[in-house]
Amino acid sequence: MKYTDIDFNTKTILITGGAGFIGSNLAFYFQNNYPQSNIIVFDKFRSDDTFSNGALKSFGHYKNLLGFSGTVISGDINDKIDLKELEINYKFDYIFHEAAISDTTVQEQDVMMKTNVNAYEDLLKIAIKHNANMIYASSAATYGDSDRFEVGYEQPNNAYGFSKVMMDNITAKYIKQGINISIVGLKYFNVYGQREFFKNKTASMVVQFGHQILKGITPKLFEGSDKIVRDFIYIEDIIQANIKACNPKKSGIYNVGTGKARSFEDIVNILQHELKIDNGKEYIPNPFIGSYQFFTQAVIDTTKENLGYEPRFTMEEGIQAYIPEIKRLFESEVK
Ligand SMILES: NC(=O)c1ccc[n+]([C@@H]2O[C@H](COP(=O)([O-])OP(=O)(O)OC[C@H]3O[C@@H](n4cnc5c(N)ncnc54)[C@H](O)[C@@H]3O)[C@@H](O)[C@H]2O)c1
């Protein structure tokens, strides 16, 4: 589906983090809808390196890009030489900046700030030099302990959420200075959908519960999960927001969610209904209390107003659309 009148067929598009979940979906969106567009995926890809929490340092996976016919560059946004090469070898029209330490539980604050905050400003400088519009990924994690999910009410409760607030602050500073390009920060809420599987334990609970159910294991929910509610958003609506952010009425920072909080219990109920498997539910203590969001719900009025964004998928519809892929992954990757 085309979400804008812009003809991307004549455009050069950089997608950092393009081997990851959201970045690879963007890459295929352009390839499928604008086959003449020049798409450059820049990603660190994965190695065996892990953080102290045991998770991989980067989740990029070639399998997310199977069938992709654009350019793939393996590089690090923290490497000034890699960035210089991007700057001199291309002339970008749009930069979609998805590369980041996306794991909200990473404890290494030094690498978190370097990767998420400082590298973003370096890329923003390239965008300004190229006269390219910048669309970057912020996060609902910026709200942390806040009970108001509107830009301006951020209260991050972990290093990841803080890093995204710093990205938003940089954005506000540049917008205030007055620049020729548009900059749009998108505060994604909890995203689920195809090409998230290789995020391992940080993939959404939709795919994780789906595979537990298919394995015949009783899905494990945190205690009180009927009251832990979040704004879960299907990948297709995230793509919509990104595309509409290419031509905003106003540069700025916008929430991207459905505007409706749903419980983790709802996810399991919908999955069990769709998969036609009822293997009950098991409740386990929540080990993340203190840095865990029990309620998120995006206020999306300004996103609608300034980007023309309108969420299309309820959780029932998103999960239903995702079911064939959950089953395919189960057969090819899990079993
Ligand atoms: N998925 C969600 O629910 C969600 C919610 C809020 C915000 N976000 C943000 O959206 C963006 C995309 O997230 P995602 O879910 O696709 O995660 P992801 O981990 O699948 O994608 C991030 C990509 O960045 C790459 N990367 C990491 N460090 C890099 C580096 N130093 N240099 C180059 N590439 C590097 C990884 O290899 C990976 O492919 C991230 O900025 C994330 O913080 C995601």
Concatenating the DSSP letter of every residue in 189-243 gives: -EEESTT-GGGGGGS-HHHHHHHHHHHTPPPEEETTGGG-EE-EEEHHHHHHHHH
The whole-number pLDDT of residue 101 equals 98
What residues act catalytically? 160, 199
The whole-number pLDDT of residue 235 equals 98
Of 59, 102, 242, best ligand 1 pocket probe by most atoms within 8 Å of the beta carbon: 102
Of 14, 15, 22, 64, best ligand 1 pocket probe by most atoms within 8 Å of the beta carbon: 22
Strand partners, 252: 184
Gap from CA of 103 to ligand 1 centroid (Å): 8
- pLDDT averaged per 10 residues, the chain (length 335): 96 98 98 98 98 97 98 98 98 98 97 98 98 98 95 96 98 96 98 98 97 96 92 98 98 98 96 96 88 90 98 98 98 95
Query: Is any atom of ligand 1 closer than 6 Å to the C-beta of 60?
Result: yes
pTM above threshold 0.95: yes
What is 286-307 written as a DSSP string? -TTTTS--SB-----HHHHHHH
Query: Is any atom of ligand 1 closer than 6 Å to the C-beta of 311?
Result: no
The whole-number pLDDT of residue 293 equals 82
The whole-number pLDDT of residue 95 equals 99
Question: Which protein residue has the closest C-alpha to ligand 1 atom 18?
Answer: 20
The whole-number pLDDT of residue 313 equals 98
Instruction: Please answer whether residues 238 and 22 qualify as being in contact, where contact means their C-beta atoms are separated by less than 8 angstroms.
Output: yes
Of 98, 118, 234, 322, best ligand 1 pocket probe by most atoms within 8 Å of the beta carbon: 98
Gap from CA of 119 to ligand 1 centroid (Å): 13
Gap from CA of 97 to ligand 1 centroid (Å): 9
Gap from CA of 17 to ligand 1 centroid (Å): 6
DSSP H helical ranges for 79-140: 80-89, 109-112, 119-130
* Angular region, 28: left φ>0, alpha ψ -120 to 50, beta rest: alpha
Gap from CA of 190 to ligand 1 centroid (Å): 13
The whole-number pLDDT of residue 261 equals 97
Query: Is any atom of ligand 1 closer than 6 Å to the C-beta of 76?
Result: yes
Gap from CA of 78 to ligand 1 centroid (Å): 14
Query: Is any atom of ligand 1 closer than 6 Å to the C-beta of 307?
Result: no
DSSP state of 10: G
Query: Is any atom of ligand 1 closer than 6 Å to the C-beta of 37?
Result: no
Query: Is any atom of ligand 1 closer than 6 Å to the C-beta of 20?
Result: yes
The whole-number pLDDT of residue 16 equals 99
